[in-house]
Amino acid sequence: MSVSLEDLTQRTRKAHSFLQTEGLIRDAKERQLQLDLIFYGTAISSCVRGRSGWSNALGLLVQMSGSTLTPDLVACSAALATVAKAATPAWQTSVQLLREMQEMDLKMNVIPFETCITCCGKASQLTPARKVYGDLDRYRLEKTVITYSALISACERSAAWIEAISLLWQAAQSRIQMDAIIYGAAISACEKAANWSWALLFLEELCNDLEPNMIHYNATMSACEKSSYWEVALLLMQEAVARHLQRDVISFAACVSACEKAAVWPEALQLLRCAQTSLLETNSILCNAAISACGRGSEPMLALMLMKEMDRPETDTYNAAIGACLEDWPQALSLFVDLQQASNRPNLLSFNSTIHVLCVGLQWLKAAVLLEQCKDEHLQPDAASYDPILSARMEMALAEGAFSPTKVHDLAERRGVRVHAMDTQSFLRSSAGDTQRARCLVGEEWMVYRPAGKVKESE
């Protein structure tokens, strides 16, 4: 049966794996068919759709170079696209490939540059993305809305929100046709920087000229959440509903988290109930934020009730509930014990939250025991682990008259801590906020093992 190169090219276009593509190449060579640029370009493009990875596409490009064919712009651009679309973009490879394309004196267009900027942006490599962007002027290539969107997205991942705003204005002044993608990239850059006012401004411009989607509203609401502007976040959700946009878990989570930061638990609870009736499934992030909101609003019973409604509370859920029991250390300790006995394992935040609640309840010895358990779990205690215990223990020492200014000065000098002209209480309290300084002053063994009562000097 006679098979033409055109037939094999069509089969390659439909190939779902690189193994199929390799088989078609072998078939073509066995039939002594002369592979052309169109076939190789199609084969390289098939690597983008499959799971073969960019290395196979580059291998085809090398194989093509080893034949009588010279890779053209289509084949090189297809190979570059496979690099950019990889799960872990190899930005250095994309930059190198673009440089080789420039050295081949191909008649370049803007697409390879945009692809390379996108690849660098995904890898949070803003500097090489800027350089590629600058090369467009050298080739006198006109920037498109995709060009600006790619570099703005790179700015978003590198927290360069001011540059992202500047690029958006440049795009608007260049009279290109703006689209929802470029506005979305700018809003996301502002959201990452918690700059809610600029995000809101860009959303307003988007709504005036184009049709926004829920992604744009979610990013703007997240910016408001990070800045604790819960009222604005709720108004944006109402506006999205008025536009007949479908709210999702991200929408509710942003608004509930905004309410949690502002300790407005009634609104957080109402949003959670609305989400439970509107969505097929809510996630733990949404429920945890509502639990934390109840805790911040001094409603620990409501927080515990919400936790009991969950089928399988996660570690973060326990952490939120423990934090909500700030004035009820027995309940917090009970939750921590339940977490230890559950299938989940306590993390550092679990220990730190429980230690904090215990110290608020003046239970520093129990907190010290938890600190030792934290080490036994091969977790690395941090300042949030030590500071509450140090602060509580030092306050007790001050109340008991265990330290005098002379003793503090002498003890500090022997441990290499400089004490300037300050009274005992201010020195101890300043040390409580500095873990390294406080441990140097009193010694970790003093903090953990000394029983309540008069504190003795530790050598």
Q: What percent of the chain clears pLDDT 70, i.e. is strictly above it?
A: 79
Lowest mean pLDDT among 122-126, 164-168, 385-389: 385-389
Q: What is the DSSP string of 383-408?
A: HHHHHHHHHHHHHHHHHHT---HHHH
The pLDDT value given to residue 175: 82
Average pLDDT over residues 83-107: 84
User: Distance of CA 445 to CAs 351, 371, 448, 451, Å?
Assistant: 19, 12, 5, 11
The answer to pTM > 0.75 is no
CA–CA gap between residue 139 and residue 118 (Å, rounded): 19
More confident: 303 or 243: 243
Average pLDDT over residues 266-276: 86
Highest average pLDDT, of 136-140, 180-184, 285-289, 310-314, comes from: 180-184
For CA atoms 289, 294, 298, 303, the dihedral sign is negative
Residue 208 has pLDDT above 60, yes or no: yes
The answer to whether 268 and 257 are in contact (CB under 8 A) is no
The pLDDT value given to residue 413: 58
Residue 273 has pLDDT above 70, yes or no: yes
More confident: 209 or 113: 113
Q: What is the CA radius of gyration of the chain?
A: 31
List, for residues 435-456, the tens digit of each pLDDT value: 444 444 444 434 433 333 333 3
The pLDDT value given to residue 147: 95
The pLDDT value given to residue 154: 93
The pLDDT value given to residue 148: 95
Q: Helix 424-432 and helix 405-414: axis angle, to 10°? A: 50
Specify whether the backbone of 263 is left (phi greater than 0), alpha (psi in -120 to 50) or beta.
Answer: left
The pLDDT value given to residue 444: 42
List, for residues 154-181, the tens digit of each pLDDT value: 999 988 999 999 999 999 898 889 999 9
For CA atoms 74, 79, 84, 85, the dihedral sign is positive
Predicted confidence band of residue 3 (pLDDT cuts 50, 70, 90): low
The candidate with the shortest Cα–Cα distance to 455, out of 412, 407, 418, 400, is 400
Q: Helix 54-66 and helix 73-84: axis angle, to 10°? A: 160
The pLDDT value given to residue 49: 60
List, for residues 284-311, the tens digit of each pLDDT value: 788 888 888 888 878 888 888 888 888 7
- Return the amino acid letter for 170: Q
Residue 432 has pLDDT above 50, yes or no: no
The pLDDT value given to residue 433: 44
